[in-house]
Amino acid sequence: MSPAQPKSAGETAGLISELYARSKAESYGLSREQFAGILRSIAEKYAAGASDVELRALYASLHAEELALARACAAGHDAA
């Protein structure tokens, strides 16, 4: 975490990394950046204007592996 980055943003980034690893998204052909983009699009749709605490709660409530598999299938990744 850089000194200019708020603690909560660093915690959210850490949660995204944890979810990426737990979701097996890489094995389905999704990069960390693609997975983070998927999470951002979900947050924009369902939690626009949410606080960092609410955003982390939303991310933690997702079924990360199922989400990664579904999105990788939809994107046509053969590994999925």
Inside any domain, residue 20: yes
pTM as predicted: 0.82
Q: How far is CA 75 from the centre of its chain?
A: 16
- The residue with greater pLDDT, 69 or 7, is 69
Inside any domain, residue 2: no
How many domains does the chain contain in total?
1
Asked if 25 and 73 touch (Cβ cutoff 8 Å), the reply is: no
Please list, in sequence order, all residues whose beta carbon lies within 8 angstroms of the beta carbon of residue 73, skipping any fewer than 6 positions away: 80
pLDDT tens-digit readout, 38-63? 999 999 999 999 999 999 999 999 99
Inside any domain, residue 80: no
Q: State the pLDDT at residue 7.
A: 52
Asked if 60 and 66 touch (Cβ cutoff 8 Å), the reply is: no
